[in-house]
Amino acid sequence: MLFLPVTDPRSFAYPVLISSFMVICIIASMSFSWSQSDTHIVKVPKTISARIVQIDKPKPKTVKQPVKKQVSKQAVVPPKKQTPKPKVIKPVDKTVAKQKPKADNAPLPLPGADLSKALAEDEAQSQLADLLNGEIQARQAEEDQQAVASFAGQIKALIQSVWRFPPSAKHDQVVLLRIFMVPTGEVTDVQLVESSGNTALDRSAEQAVWRVAKFPVPEDASLFEKQFRNFLIQLKPENARL
């Protein structure tokens, strides 16, 4: 239910901004004609983008933090993984699949490249925006967002239905995983980005992803590459007894 900056305790401005933003959003979405009525769309993104300019600044922080962490962690993760799992059996299909994302879009999975990549993408996007009609772009982006939200929701529901956390799990422990998928939605790798400190809980989270094994993903290749080729999932057993 929370928009990320709201969780930032440092700022009172964000909640105010966000709540006003939410109100606008709700009003906008209510007045928004979902059946492609152009006149309404024009207004909505304008209002939103005007607000977003300010709200945007803390945003990369929260987004980039995990990315940065991942950069530093990824160097640490492999040896870590090897200690509790002294013997790693990698079936053929897995190793092949694992290499696949690296081959497919070389710049993307390289953790160091993530930042510059994001920057470049941003710039490209804004140039594109200048070229294209803002309305069309807004609609396209919105449709993308809806698709992302829908698939993310399905993924969340699937994981929650099979995530069996151990009895030692505490309600405030958090596991951060990175999931790697191929365009069919099949999971090719799961990496522990941030441990909860409870190995059994970490393992239960990884297992939950493997247990689903195949997730629904958008057919649109660019959207898949952008959001689902690899993404983060944060698992927190809020309904744990402890």
Partner 1 sequence: MIKRYIFLLLMSFCVSSQAELTIEITQGIASSIPISVVPFKFEGRLKESVEQIVRSDLERSGHFSLLAPDDMLSQPATEDDIYFTDWRLLKQDYIVIGTVKALPNQQYEIRYQLFDVFSETELLTQTLKGTESQLRDIAHRISDAIYEQLTGIRGAFSTKIAYVTTNPQRSVFNLSVADSDGAREKTVLTSKYSIISPSWSPDGKQLAYVLVEDDGSRVYIQDLATGKKRLISAQKGINSAPSFSPDGKKLALVLSKDGNPEIYVVKLADNSWTRVTNHYAIDTEPNWMPDGEHIIFTSGRTGNPQIYRVNLTSGYTERLTFEGSYNARARLAQDGRFLVLVHQANPGAPFHIASLDLVRGLVQTLTSDTQLDESPSVSPNGVMVMYAAKYNGRSILAAVSVAGDVRFLLPSKNGDVREPAWGPYLN
For tokens 């929701």, name the residue: 153
Q: If you count them, how many residues does the chain have?
A: 242
For tokens 């300010």, name the residue: 54
Residue among 20, 126, 133, 184 that touches partner 1 (CB under 8 A): 126
Q: Is 98 in the site for partner 1 (CB under 8 A)?
A: no
Q: Is 77 in the site for partner 1 (CB under 8 A)?
A: no
CB of 153 to partner 1, least distance (A): 6
For tokens 């804004």, name the residue: 126
CA distances from 10 to 63, 93, 138 (A): 16, 47, 31
- Of 76 and 200, the one with the shorter C-beta distance to partner 1 is 200
The contacts found for 84-91 with CB under 8 angstroms, 24 or more apart, are: 84/199
Q: Is 108 in the site for partner 1 (CB under 8 A)?
A: no
CB of 89 to partner 1, least distance (A): 5
Closest CA to 232 of 47, 69, 110: 69
Residue among 42, 63, 106, 136 that touches partner 1 (CB under 8 A): 63
* Cα–Cα dist 178/69, whole Å: 12
For residue 179, the cross-strand partners are 190, 231
Q: Is 217 in the site for partner 1 (CB under 8 A)?
A: no
* Local structure of residue 224 (DSSP, 8 states): I
For tokens 């007894």, name the residue: 241
Considering only residues 132 through 191, tell me which ones interact with partner 1, judged by CB under 8 A: 137-138, 141-142, 144-146, 148-149, 152-153, 155-156, 159-169, 190
* Cα–Cα dist 195/114, whole Å: 21
**Of the ranges 31-39, 71-79, 95-103, 120-128, which one interacts with partner 1 (CB under 8 A)?**
120-128
Q: Is 87 in the site for partner 1 (CB under 8 A)?
A: yes
CB of 99 to partner 1, least distance (A): 17
- Of 110 and 232, the one with the shorter C-beta distance to partner 1 is 232
CB of 139 to partner 1, least distance (A): 10
* Cα–Cα dist 90/101, whole Å: 17
Considering only residues 2 through 31, tell me which ones interact with partner 1, judged by CB under 8 A: 2-4, 18, 21-22, 25
Q: Is 45 in the site for partner 1 (CB under 8 A)?
A: yes
Q: Is 49 in the site for partner 1 (CB under 8 A)?
A: yes
CB-CB contact of 223 with 147 (8 Å): yes
Q: Is 66 in the site for partner 1 (CB under 8 A)?
A: yes
Strands 175-181 and 187-194, by their bridges, are antiparallel
Per rule CB under 8 A, count of chain residues that contact partner 1: 87
**CA contacts within 13 A on the Cβ side of 70:** 23
Q: Is 52 in the site for partner 1 (CB under 8 A)?
A: yes
Q: Is 130 in the site for partner 1 (CB under 8 A)?
A: no
